DNA sequence: GCGCTGTTGTTTAACCTTCAAGGAGATGCC
DNA sequence: GGCATCTCCTTGAAGGTTAAACAACAGCGC
């Protein structure tokens, strides 16, 4: 990977520093804001809410643990803890996988769906107020492209994704 | 604050959803990446590293706790815990404030400065590889503007900041 | 079948963050 | 001065996250 930082570090220029600081500030403020909003209205952190959303969109409102972890960009360990908590709340239920006895499904319960239905509007509104209402259409487009690029760069590559002849 | 979500929620359009998902993915992947990088190379999470940076840039490498918390966008409580931890590592030291006996200074020690000097290049390189190397100059500029706007919208306003005649 | 390797999901303990509460000193007002 | 109130910072408990180790199983070659 040749990352060994030698004598010649490519420091950030003043302009790059401004961009980076702005990014850090925006991201931490926004995550804080949304976390508080959801903690107040739905009694759970943002990440947990995201899990319910993913399940709500999945066929039959169920996903294998690993698949859910992948979609939510969290570790399986973290997901395991999270689901345990959501299970206690009655929002999610675990089910065994008939095909693979190691496997577990996380299933969104009716109560979980109800919570989602009740709290989604407030959450969307919060996102709108904090982000979309403040950006021009061009900026929104730009933001999407930029984030897409950054995410792709960090995504653990699919096997053979860049070696199509191996598939 | 008329946020009461009535029957008429302004849902995100499909395009807005794509932008928002891309944002969430990028941000969580990036934060994870940097956290791991720093945990490995500097034995501390990203936020703690940020504290050392702020102190390193401050005059005399010292800041009042509240000021540091404000700059780092974290709560005083969190900062208090964090400084305790950094103090155990010998990277930061607390000092009393002569002017205000309630006050405390957080001071970057020589050892702390040394850690910073040693690990900064690797961190900058990680940020570069994940972000700046992948974006065009226009995109970098755009990112800065967008994040600036979002951050300002969430920033707790300074007293009278939008009422200049009151200052 | 048997063993090998990799996957799936959980667990433990250490660590970090949050929230609510509180001590101690400053500030202002009478 | 006396009192209320505010600010600065800390604390402890509850809860969330992480890394590492683990048990159970699947897939595969033999």
Per domain, the residue ranges of chain B are 16-119
Q: Is a pLDDT exceeding 60 seen at residue A3? A: no
CA of B77 to C1' of D8 (A): 11
pLDDT-derived band at A163 (thresholds 50, 70, 90) equals: very low
Cβ neighbourhood burial of B5 (10 Å; 0-12, 13-18, 19+)? middle
Beta bridge partners of B123: none
C-beta atoms of A150 and B130 within 8 A = yes
Please name the residue that has the structure tokens 């010649």.
A8
Q: Give the pLDDT score at B156.
A: 64
Q: What is the mean pLDDT of residues B4-30?
A: 90
Are A92 and A107 in contact, with CB atoms under 8 Å apart? yes
Chain B's closest residue to A26, CA to CA, is B151
Q: Is pLDDT above 80 for B157?
A: no
A51-56: long-range contacts at Cβ-Cβ below 8 A with a sequence spacing of 24 or more? A51/A79, A51/A82, A51/A83, A51/A86, A51/A92, A51/A106, A52/A86, A52/A91, A52/A92, A52/A108, A52/A112, A52/A115, A52/A116, A53/A116, A53/A120, A55/A92, A55/A106, A55/A107, A55/A108, A55/A112, A56/A108, A56/A112, A56/A113, A56/A116
- Summarize the confidence of residues B33-48 as an average pLDDT: 97
Q: Which residues contact A63 (CB under 8 A, 6 or more apart)?
A: A54, A55, A71, A105, A106
Does B144 lie at the interface with A, CB-CB under 8 angstroms?
Answer: yes
> CA end-to-end span of chain B, whole Å?
25
Distance CA B129, CA A135 (A): 27
Residue B104 CA neighbour count, 13 Å, CB half: 14
Q: Which two tokens stand for residue B66?
A: 């509240």
CATH number listed for the domain at residues A16-119: 1.10.10.10
Please write the tens of the pLDDT for every residue from A33-73.
999 999 999 999 999 999 999 999 999 999 999 999 999 99
Distance from CA of B43 to the nearest CA of A (A): 18
User: How many C-beta atoms lie closer than 10 Å to residue B122's C-beta?
Assistant: 18
Contact B17, A53 (CB under 8 A): no
Shortest Cα distance, chain A CAs vs residue B13, angstroms: 11
Structure-token pair, residue B86: 């950094």
A131 to chain B: closest CA residue: B150
For residue A148, the model assigns a pLDDT of 97
B24 φ, ψ (degrees, to nearest 5): -60, -45
For A20, name the nearest residue in chain B, comparing CA atoms only: B144
Q: How many CB atoms lie within 10 A of CB A36?
A: 13
Contacts of B56 in chain A (CB under 8 A): none
Q: To the nearest whole percent, how much of chain A has pLDDT over 70?
A: 89
Whether B28 has a pLDDT exceeding 70, the answer reads yes
pLDDT at B8: 83
* Exposed/middle/buried for residue B18 (C-beta within 10 Å: 0-12, 13-18, 19+): middle
How far apart CA A33 and CA B142 sit, in angstroms, is: 23
**b/e sequence A14-32, b meaning 16+ C-beta within 10 Å:** eebeebbbbbbbbbbbbbe
pLDDT tens digits, B135-155: 999 999 999 999 999 999 998
Looking at beta carbons, which residues of chain B come within 8 Å of A137?
A: none
């Amino acid at each position: 990977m040749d990352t060994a930082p030698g004598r010649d570090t490519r420091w950030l220029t003043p302009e790059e520093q401004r961009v980076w600081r702005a990014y850090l500030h925006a991201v931490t403020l926004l995550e804080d804001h949304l976390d508080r909003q959801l903690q107040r209205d739905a009694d759970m952190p943002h990440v947990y809410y995201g899990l319910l959303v993913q399940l709500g969109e999945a066929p039959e409102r169920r996903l294998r643990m690993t698949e859910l972890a992948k979609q939510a960009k969290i570790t399986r360990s973290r997901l395991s803890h999270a689901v345990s908590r959501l299970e206690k709340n009655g929002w999610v239920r675990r089910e065994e996988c008939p095909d693979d006895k190691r496997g577990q499904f996380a299933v969104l319960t009716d109560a979980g769906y109800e919570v989602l239905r009740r709290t989604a509007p407030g959450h969307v509104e919060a996102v709108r107020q904090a982000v979309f209402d403040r950006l021009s259409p061009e900026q929104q487009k730009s933001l999407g492209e930029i984030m897409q690029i950054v995410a792709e760069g960090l995504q653990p590559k699919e096997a053979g994704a860049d070696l199509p002849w191996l598939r």
